[in-house]
């Protein structure tokens, strides 16, 4: 009988069978299941940490190869850009007339590109008297269709509508803003109506649409302001990096009209030179078209 009991309790090992034993754990303490699992997890973490340090040490001991070669910017550009960029002589500074002609010739896009001017000044924008901001009416416009809105008393609004304003309203205009409707590019207001726009500063300010006396959009003569805006009045200002950016018109304007606009801009910029500025006013100037190469322009003043 004892031999039979032994046969029943002794597991038999065969290739087809597997001995399964249950591990017994204490309810608490070092022999509890939770503690044993935590110890095992910590051992695995320490092992991974050692392997990581070993790999870092081996990587540090390996001789460093040559840095990966970075292709020049020109080689990372499109084929059309690379072709027209060859027309711009590296290191050469062009006269304004030659730069305008070359900018037109080097426009690589199929659409009617905008010719732009980018001028780095020697001013400090943090100084109030050197924070340049003004407006300019380009002789031939900028080629953009400008939607003008006027917020003024009803009699002034009617004059603005006659002058070509797309929207000309009194207090009814505020309902548009309450709904978040921004279907205009320029907003003109009279001084008396400006306080009413104060609560919409967060809506208009980030979009550059808040009327401003320096930009000529806060005025008593709203009729004149509308005509100037429709005729191609543009605003330019120096940014935090002391650079002025402005669009001077479309490539389709042709060389003569773009040169007239460029001359008007540089004359305007010259008139804005701060009296307190000591040293060089214009440090560098470039002309370019949308997605086209930059063309250095000779300093017109210094």
Say how many CA atoms lie within 13 Å of 8 toward its Cβ: 5
Is the confidence at residue 16, as pLDDT, over 60? no
Task: Write down the pLDDT at residue 74.
Answer: 61
* pTM score of the predicted model: 0.64
Q: What is the CA radius of gyration of the chain?
A: 36
Cross-strand bridge partners of residue 250? 114
Task: Write down the pLDDT at residue 44.
Answer: 87
Alpha carbon distance 144, 183 (integer Å): 15
Q: Kind and range of the H or E element at 35?
A: helix 33-61
pLDDT, tens only, 104-159 = 999 988 888 999 999 999 999 898 889 888 888 898 888 888 899 999 999 999 99
Task: Write down the pLDDT at residue 191.
Answer: 93
What secondary structure does DSSP assign to 230-292, as a single string?
Answer: HHTEEEEEB-TTSEEEEEEEEGGG-HHHHHHHHHHHHHHHHHT--TT--S-SEEEEEEEETTP
In this prediction, residue 248 has a pLDDT band, given cuts at 50, 70 and 90, of very high
CB distance 274 to 133 below 8 Å: no
Stretch 268-290: mean pLDDT: 90
CB distance 281 to 121 below 8 Å: yes
Q: Kind and range of the H or E element at 168?
A: strand 167-169
Average pLDDT, the chain: 84
Alpha carbon distance 168, 152 (integer Å): 7
Task: Write down the pLDDT at residue 161.
Answer: 92
Stretch 224-238: mean pLDDT: 88
Alpha carbon distance 142, 166 (integer Å): 18
């Amino acid at each position: 009988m004892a031999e039979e009991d032994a046969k029943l309790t002794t597991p038999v090992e065969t290739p087809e069978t597997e001995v399964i034993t249950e591990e017994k754990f204490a309810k608490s303490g070092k022999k509890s299941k939770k503690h044993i699992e935590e110890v095992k997890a910590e051992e695995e973490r320490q092992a991974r940490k050692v392997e990581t340090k070993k790999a870092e040490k081996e990587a540090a001991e390996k001789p460093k190869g040559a840095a990966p070669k970075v292709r020049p910017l020109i080689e990372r550009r499109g084929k059309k850009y690379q072709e027209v960029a060859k027309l711009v002589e590296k290191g050469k500074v062009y006269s304004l007339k030659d730069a305008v002609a070359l900018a037109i010739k080097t426009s690589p896009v199929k659409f009617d590109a905008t010719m732009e001017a980018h001028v780095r000044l020697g001013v400090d924008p943090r100084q109030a008297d050197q924070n340049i901001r003004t407006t300019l009416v380009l002789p031939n416009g900028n080629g953009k269709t400008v939607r003008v809105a006027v917020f003024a008393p009803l009699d002034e609004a009617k004059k603005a509508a006659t002058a070509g304003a797309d929207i000309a309203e009194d207090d009814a205009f505020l309902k548009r803003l309450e709904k978040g409707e921004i279907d205009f590019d320029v907003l003109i207001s009279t001084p008396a109506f400006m306080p009413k726009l104060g609560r919409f500063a967060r809506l208009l300010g980030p979009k550059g649409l808040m009327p401003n006396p320096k930009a000529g959009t806060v005025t008593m003569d709203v009729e004149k302001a509308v005509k100037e805006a429709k005729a191609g009045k543009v605003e330019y200002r120096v940014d935090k990096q002391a650079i002025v950016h402005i669009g001077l018109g479309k490539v389709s304007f042709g060389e003569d009209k773009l040169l007239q606009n460029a001359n008007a801009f540089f004359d305007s910029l010259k008139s804005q030179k701060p009296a307190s500025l000591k040293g060089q006013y214009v440090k560098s100037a470039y002309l370019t078209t949308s997605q086209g190469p930059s063309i250095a322009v000779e300093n017109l003043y210094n």
